Amino acid sequence: MLDKIFRFIDANKKYVIELTKRLVSIPTVNPPGENYERIVDLLEKTCEEIGLKTKRIRVPDNKLKKYGISKGSKRISLVARWDVGSKKTLHINGHYDVVPSTENWTYKPFKPVVKKDKLFGRGTEDMKATIASYIFAVKALKQLGIKPYINLEFSFTPDEETGGKAGLEWLLKNGFIKADFALGEGFGGDFISYGNKGMVWFEIEVLGKSCHASQPYRGINSFEELHKVAEELIRFKKNLSTKKTRFGIKDRLDSSPTIVLGGVLSGGKKINIVPDKSTFTIDRRLIPEESVEMAKKEIFGILENLKKRDKNLRFRVKIITSEKPVIVDENESVCRILAYSIQRVLKRKARFAVMPGGTDMRFLIKKGIPAVGYSVLGDDRAHSDDEFVYIKSLIDTTKVFAIFFMRLR
């Protein structure tokens, strides 16, 4: 049976390469969210051609306004199903939006090209090649007359790159997805993603008193006050490296929590005026053993202790957003069958790792749905120039998905 599947995929690999190129050629850049209608048209037609039933789901404009979305395309998701009459369903998610490209590309980002063993284009690795691989795996099973044990339900969604509120989170909150297991974006090769780190984003506004720069002693320089706060947090940053997660990680440097100061900086109005307000952000990433409340308590504690030592220090703290860490037990059947599928294709044992960033799989896990992440292997530098996937990985990943879809029950 597996030999039959593998032969079909190898013989028809041009299909998945060309489908990936067609998806990449539609510049679904987010922000602001462009050409969403065009890519949903293509995905809907392609899914129907291989025998899936489809449904478009659009987020109402009044809801988009609440999310602060006023520009770009309508927010449309496509749900496609292969109903085999089972009481169980595997949900498979892929986001079709991509981050903007820079000026540093060797090849045009939305004119995909194959060079030797790689397929280049914006969105190949994140994550249009994986979407194409999902579809090709279903095409292979259907054309070979192989029916899975459980229903397959796909969602192709927007806005993952800007938080996912108008994409997968919307579908889950409004009851469009009811699954027993799920598969989404993740690592590739022999690594399975079985969780995401959490995060808390803070905004710290440090206050001073403005005056003319010719007599700075009449004011309080908020930038210098900000420097005091930042120094204290930099000292705290060194302590974070002593914490280590017990869960699997892909890169040893991801085993600890992290903190980034100053992702966004602002303050001051004029070069010859002492600034009265300076603001900076904190991006705090949490390992699975940590909680959002713990991370908040640490930062607030550092700031309060600093204030006790410096009575004149004034600041305001705002929580921009937070996400708790999520993890799935690797003994869940969805983990075991995916690991088996990888081993059959790659001839080596699969490994489980927590992703250092957040993906849409977190929404599924928080709903109590065991979800894993697995993608076509490419350039894993986040949102790199000259984004690419390996052709061999595109074919191998399709084989993995075909086995996984066929065997999960």
**Tokens representing residue 47 in the block:** 């899914």
Adjacent-strand bridge partners of 355: 196
The predicted structure's pLDDT at residue 382: 64
Contact assessment for residue 43 and residue 78, using Cβ atoms and an 8 Å cutoff:
yes
Q: Is it the case that residue 398 has pLDDT exceeding 90?
A: yes
Question: Residue 286 in 3-state DSSP?
Answer: strand
Same domain, 38 and 64: yes
How far apart CA 233 and CA 359 sit, in angstroms, is 27
For residue 246, give every residue at least 6 positions away whose Cβ sits within 8 Å of its Cβ, in sequence order, or none.
289
The answer to whether residues 172 and 233 belong to one domain is: no
Same domain, 134 and 240: no
E strands, 1-70, in order = 53-58
Residue 383: the pLDDT is 72
* One domain for residues 345 and 319: no
Q: Average model confidence (pLDDT) for the chain?
A: 96
pLDDT score of 354 more than 70: yes
The answer on 109 and 6 residing in a single domain is yes
- The predicted model scores a pTM of 0.93
Going by their DSSP bridges, the two strands 89-95 and 181-187 should be labelled as parallel
Distances (CA, A) of 70 to 39, 58, 67, 125, 329: 20, 15, 9, 28, 39
The answer on 134 and 26 residing in a single domain is yes
Question: What pLDDT is recorded for position 102?
Answer: 85
Last residue of a domain, one of 288, 323, 358: 323
Q: Among residues 280, 262, 46, 231, which one has the least CA distance to residue 156? A: 46
Task: Report pLDDT digits (tens) over 274-322.
Answer: 999 999 999 999 999 999 999 999 999 999 999 999 999 999 999 999 9
Q: Are residues 241 and 116 in the same domain?
A: no
Same domain assignment for residues 25 and 92: yes
Euclidean distance between CA atoms 215 and 121, whole angstroms: 55
Identify residue 378 by its one-letter amino acid code: G
The answer to whether residue 384 scores a pLDDT higher than 80 is: no
Sheet containing 118-120: order of strands: 113-115, 118-120, 388-390
pLDDT value of position 346: 98
Write out pLDDT tens, residues 332-352. Answer: 999 999 999 999 999 999 999
Tens of pLDDT, residue by residue over 151-188, are 999 999 999 999 999 999 999 999 999 899 999 999 99
Place of tokens 């869940």: 332
pLDDT in tens, 197-238: 999 999 999 999 999 999 999 999 999 999 999 999 999 999
CB atoms within 10 A of CB 216: 13
Supply the CATH number for residue 317's domain.
Answer: 3.30.70.360
- Rounded to an integer, what distance in angstroms lies between the CA atom of residue 120 and that of residue 379? 10
Domain count, the chain: 2
Query: Do 286 and 400 lie in a common domain?
Result: no
Give pLDDT tens digits for 241-263: 999 999 999 999 999 999 999 99
| Structural domain for 23, as ranges | 2-196+325-407
Among the three residues 304, 323, 342, which one is the final residue of a domain in this structure?
323
| Orientation of helix 129-143 relative to helix 13-24, angle to 10° | 140
Is there a single domain that holds both residue 21 and residue 126? Answer: yes
116 and 191 inside one domain: yes
Integer-rounded Cα Rg, in Å, for the chain is: 24
CA distance 47 to 8: 19
| Whether residue 143 has pLDDT greater than 90 | yes
Residue 29 has pLDDT above 70, yes or no: yes
100: exposed, middle or buried (Cβ count in 10 Å: 0-12, 13-18, 19+):
middle
Q: Which of 270, 303, 323 is the last residue of a domain?
A: 323
Q: At 133, which CATH number?
A: 3.40.630.10
Q: How many CB atoms lie within 10 A of CB 67?
A: 16
Are 180 and 62 found together in one domain? yes
Evaluate whether 396 touches 346 at the Cβ level (below 8 Å). Answer: yes
155 backbone dihedrals φ, ψ, rounded to 5°: -130, 130
Q: Give the model's pLDDT for residue 380.
A: 72
- Please provide the DSSP assignment of 96-161 as one string: --BPPP-S--SS-TTS-EEETTEEESTTIIIIIHHHHHHHHHHHHHHHTT---SSEEEEEEES-GG
Confidence of residue 103 (pLDDT cuts 50, 70, 90): confident
Q: What pLDDT score was predicted for residue 336?
A: 98
Helix and strand element counts for the chain (H, E): 11, 16
